Structure 1
Amino acid sequence: MTQLAQNLKRLTCLFFLIPMLPFLLAGCSGNERPKTIPVTGTVTIDGKLLPKGTVTFQPKSSSEGNVKRPAIGQIDTTGRVQLSTFEAGDGVLPGSYAVVITAFENDPTAEEYAAGVKRKSLIPDKYSNALTSGLEADVAEGKNDFTFDLKSRK
């Protein structure tokens, strides 16, 4: 084999291997998620259990240059919620969070919504925005069971 043929063969191999390099290296780095901490809570409005809705923990800042992930949980009929970040019930990353809560009396289908049916909130709109809810949570090692007592418009 001539020198030119050998060099051409090497270049051809490199042409196909170099684009694959990031994928090969990514497979070696592992797929570990950051540690989460179990977080539960109770949601009330004017002292009465809120029987449905959603609680979202929105990170106030990122840590060590990494973007933090929000956590979310559905309020059950007893007013309890368990938060999840990566998979159901896994918990929340440690840190400080603004808390957003939404709860609707009705949940129109896509057709009803297109026809003008609006969702009716069970709680004041201020709780559905991280900037106006006034709700906060700090998640750290140990017990993290929060109570959020919302106040109605009255």
Structure 2
Amino acid sequence: MHSHLYAKTLLLLVACSLATSLGCNSEPPDDRPARAKVTGTVTLAGSPVAEARIQFHAVNKSQGAIGKTKTDGTYTLTTYEAGDGALPGDYVVTISKTEVASGLTEEEKLKMQEMGRPVPSPKTSELMPKAYTKSASSPLKVTVTADGDNHFDFDVKK
């Protein structure tokens, strides 16, 4: 009987010491560089662009940031964690939006799989002017500041 009580006590002690050694912090310390919140809107010839991919490419080749526009064209950038912004510095900005030009229906894909045939990838087309989709040719340049208003609107011309 004593050994049963001893086992329970030992188990309780091990569980308590494990809980203590792991700590109760829900967030580990963030030792990554400080980011500044970056928001804005993407429009194409004045109209909001939904589901566009926006990328901030660091001029100094350090960490960049990415975002995706909502239906109203607004975006918030992410570097490490959703919505954490971008590192302060100079960036070239690229914007890309692809659309599926043609593809198979789900039923057609299923038939091809059943027949053991490879399912072709759907064809896509780029909706943004080509210059804006590559960092080497994009005319969009911004500077993110540590304590400034980092709100950048981009009206892409066709």
Q: Secondary structure at the match of 2:98?
A: coil
Where does residue 69 of structure 2 map in the other structure? 75
Q: Kindly provide the amino acid, as one letter, of the partner of residue 81 in structure 2.
A: E
Structure 2 length-normalised TM = 0.67
Amino acid at match of 2:76: Q
- SS of residue paired to 2:155: strand
Offset at residue 87 of structure 1 (A)? 0.7
d(CA) in 1 for partners of 2:69, 2:121 = 27
Q: Find 2:96's aligned residue among 99, 102, 124.
A: 102
CA distance in 2 between counterparts of 1:56 and 1:43 reads 12
1:37 maps to 36
Could you say if the C-alpha distance between residues 32 and 126 of structure 1 is closer, same or farther in structure 2, counting changes exceeding 3 Å?
Answer: same
Partner of 1:60: 59
Name the count of aligned residue pairs. Answer: 116
- State the Cα RMSD in Å: 2.3
Aligned residue number for residue 134 of structure 2: 129
Deviations 1:106-151 (A, max 9, x none): 2869x8xx62632112211221100111111100022111011101
Q: Given the alignment of the two structures, is residue 151 of structure 1 paired with residue 145 of structure 2, yes or no?
A: no
Task: Name the counterpart of 1:139.
Answer: 144
Does the CA contact (< 8 Å) of 2:100 and 2:122 recur in 1? no
Aligned identity (percent) is 37
Q: Give the distance between the partners of 2:150 and 2:130, measured in 1 at CA.
A: 26
Deviation per CA, 1:52-81: give whole Å up to 9, x if none: 21100000015xxxxx20100011101001
One-letter identity of the residue aligned with 1:150: V
1:102 Cα deviation after fit: 0.6
Q: What CA distance in whole angstroms lies between the structure 2 residues aligned with 1:102 and 1:31?
A: 31
Q: Displaced runs of 4+ in structure 1, greater than 6 A? A: none
> Distance in 2 between the 1:84 and 1:51 partners?
17
Decide whether aligned partners of structure 1 residues 31 and 91 sit closer, same or farther in structure 2, where only a CA change above 3 A counts.
closer
- Structure 2: how far apart are the matches of 1:84 and 1:118? 28
Residues in 1 aligned to 2:97 and 2:43: alpha-carbon distance in whole angstroms: 11
What is the rounded CA distance, in whole Å, between the counterparts of 1:116 and 1:51 in structure 2?
Answer: 23
Uncovered stretches (5+) of structure 1, i.e. residues with no partner? 1-29, 63-67
